[in-house]
Structure formats: C-alpha cells, structure tokens
Amino acid sequence: MSCMPCFLAGVFHLHCMVINKGGNDMKMLKQNSEAVSPVIGVMLMLVVTVILAAAVSSTSTGLIKSSDPAPTAVFTVEVAKGEPLFYGSLEVPNPADWISIKEITGDAIDTKNLKIVTTNYNATGTMVREIVAGETISYAGSTYTGTVPFNNQGNHLFGNPENAFGNYTVKPGVTMYAIDGAMSGYPTTYPQWGPLTDIMGNVYYDYDSDPTEMQAMFADWCNVSDGDIVNVKIIDIASETVIFTTDVEVM
C-alpha cells in the first residue's frame, strides 16, 4: 500500500512527460512548417524570375535579329534662291530656286524608305516640313503626286514616274533635287503660307493650295532669303534613324 502513491506519482510523471513531448513535437512541426513555407515561396519566385528572364532574352534576341540595320550615307546639300542650276545633262542659266542633295558615299537606298525633314528657322508658325513619297505638288501649271525631290535625269518636267521620290534608288553619284522657276519661269502667284483650321477647329500652318517643288521642301519658302540657314535631315523610316543631317546657308 505504501508503494501505491509512489507508483501513481510515477505514472503521472511519465504521462506528463509524454504529453510534454507530444506538445513539443507538435510545436516543432508547426515551427518547421512555418519555416518551410517562406523558403518554398522564395524558391518559386526565383524559378518564375528565371523563366521570365529567359523569355524576355529570347524575345529581345529575336527582335534584334529580325531588325535590319539602318543604311549609312554621306551627302552634300546646296540650297539656292535665284541662282542658275546645272542638273543631269542640262544647263539652265536662268535664275531659279532649288535644292540639290547628292550622295557622296554610302549605301544604295530605295527612296520609298526615306523621309526628308527640313527646318526653316525663320518660318512663321511651323518651321519643320516632312517629305515622304506621295507628296502632291504643282509644277508649271500641272499637279503631280510623289515627285519631290526628283533624281537627276533632267526630264522630270514630263512627269516621268521613275524619277519621282519613292520610285528610284539614291546611291553614290545620284543627286536628288527640287526646283522652282528654272525652265518655266517663276509662278505668277504662289500658294500662300499661313494659318489654316482643320475640321476640329485646330489651327496649323501650311500652304493654302498644292505647293510648288521648293514650297513642298520647305515651310514658308517664299520668306527664305540669301544667307538664311536651313537644316536638312535624311531619315530611315523603318528604324527612325537619322542617316544624315546638316545646316546649310542659302546661296
């Protein structure tokens, strides 16, 4: 009988130890689970990051490989007001307004892939004018589309389509040009440069009718004078790369 209390005390102590041990195991399991969850999350984030990086790299590489490099070329540019002009096989001693853009060295470039951007720093309103294939101009009383600047074959007065900007290739030795007044004399009346209003009521500056060749090339051309500085840029349309740019003093 005297040993019974000791026995019960021992059983109670053992039971407490088992309970405590079980509780500790559960606590450790919970702690381990809590510790593992963030690790798994971090690993998943790393995996996703690696996959995304690989995908972006692959896409970028594909884009780079599929893009053609912009052509390269060097030009000489002359702009004149009331000066004689020599172009193609013809000599025109009459005073004329003209621009000549001659490729000196570089790639052969289809002009349909080019955009010419000119800046008349003294223009009223808009100073910049963009020239792309398909521009409509007037020349010697006729209207042409996609014609300036012509190449230097000397027969553009007859509206030959192969000489129109966008229909020929410029390469070393080829000159692109636009002229007013050389063959047929200056127009008696010029389209007027000034503010116009679009259908939305927005005001912009342009010519009030189809421009002449030089008006198509420059904003507010009638107000350009000898000694003025104008800028000419030649841009590759596909890449929007400026192939050539220069400031020119008007002769």
State which amino acid sits at residue 69. Answer: P
In sign, the C-alpha dihedral spanning 211, 102, 176, 130 is: negative
pLDDT string in tens for the chain (251-residue length): 444 444 444 444 444 444 454 455 545 545 555 555 666 666 667 666 657 666 555 445 444 444 678 999 999 999 999 888 776 555 666 788 899 999 999 999 999 999 999 999 999 999 999 988 877 666 555 666 667 787 765 455 455 777 888 889 999 998 888 888 765 556 667 788 888 888 888 888 888 877 888 888 999 998 999 999 999 999 999 999 999 999 999 99
143 dihedral zone (left: phi>0; alpha: psi -120 to 50; beta): beta
Cβ atoms of 166 and 111 closer than 8 Å: yes
* Residue 79: closest CA among 230, 212, 190: 230
- Residue 82 buriedness (CB in 10 A; 0-12 / 13-18 / 19+): middle
Domain map (residue ranges) of the chain? 1-67, 73-249
- Taking the CA atoms of residue 31, residue 33, residue 35 and residue 37 in that order, the dihedral angle to the nearest 10 degrees is -150
Q: What is the CA radius of gyration of the chain?
A: 38
Using DSSP's 3-state secondary structure scheme, residue 144 falls into strand
Residue 194, pLDDT score: 85
Closest to 155 in 3D by CA, of 141, 137, 139, 173:
139
SS3 108: coil
Give CA–CA dist 213/211, Å, rounded: 7
Q: Dihedrals φ, ψ of 5, to 5°? A: -60, -40
Please give the Cα distance from 207 to 211 (Å, whole number).
Answer: 6
Length of the chain (residues)? 251
How many Å apart are CA 48 and CA 3, to the nearest integer?
A: 67
pTM above 0.75, yes or no: no
